[in-house]
Structure 1
Amino acid sequence: MELNKIEDILEKYFQGETTIAEENELKNYFSSPNVAQHLEQYKPIFGYFSQVKQQKSTQEIKTPVQESETIPLQTKKRNVAWLSIAASVVVLLGIGTYLFVSEKDAAPAVAQTELGTYDDPEEALAATQKALAMVSNNVNVGLESVHYIKEYEHSKKKIFKL
């Protein structure tokens, strides 16, 4: 009966559903010498806790020689000033980089506003014809694609007899 109870508690333990009392029961069972053969593999897990309790600290604690003498407690302080200076430098570098990159992007935009103006009417006519020829070529390519789609639809109607 006890073995079945231990197995149930062990299953609950590995699912993370045990109470502290049940975990103490497992520790007591696995620290005892009569552990079932098939549960021997879990003995090191729970035996660790009893071994740790028996260990003693060998580190010496130093006390002041006289009670009137006090030793100030030494703590590690972070130098907040250096940390704030480093953060400020990082922020300034980020802002500077952003402004530098945005300046590069803004310069071509100014040049683009001047592209559409021509002083000579013949030059403007040639540029307009060139632009319209390019648009016409692109539209013709698009119309060829539409022709293929119409051919596909016609073939589909023949196959499925719609």
Structure 2
Amino acid sequence: MVLNNIDKLIEKYNDAETSLKEEAQLRAYFNGDDVAPHVEHYKPLFQYFSKAQEEQYTKDVPLKPKNRTVFYQWISVAAVAILMLGIFIPNLIGGPKTLAEYSQEDQEMYLEAKEALAMLSNNFNQGTTSLNTLNLASENFNVGIEKASHITEFSQTTNKLLKN
């Protein structure tokens, strides 16, 4: 009867369905001398678990972690300070310049860039107008195809009536 019970417990153990009490029964059985031959291969496993419970960690565990987070907090504070200085110092020194305050060469480059961007914008607008025209033509073509299909359907029906 005990052997039958051990077989059931081993099956439950392999399916991960045993309780702690049942596992203790298995450990006690396999630590004994009278282990059945067909379950002998489980003996080292359960003996290992018994020995592993007796092991203890002897090194001291430091309770205070190293203070690296303070260093990272100061880095973030320094980064914010540099960012704020980068934003406010240019505004305090002179503020934004007007077009008249730039040199003649810079003003000419600004006007040329402005013309080029205006031309690019105009060409984009013409391209979208052309696409709208093509879209309209495509829609009209689809309407024509649909009407042509109605005509072929009408002619097939007419042919059927005329044949009868």
What TM-score do the two structures reach when normalised by structure 2? 0.46
Decide which structure has greater helix share: 2
Higher Cα Rg, which structure: 2
What TM-score do the two structures reach when normalised by structure 1? 0.46
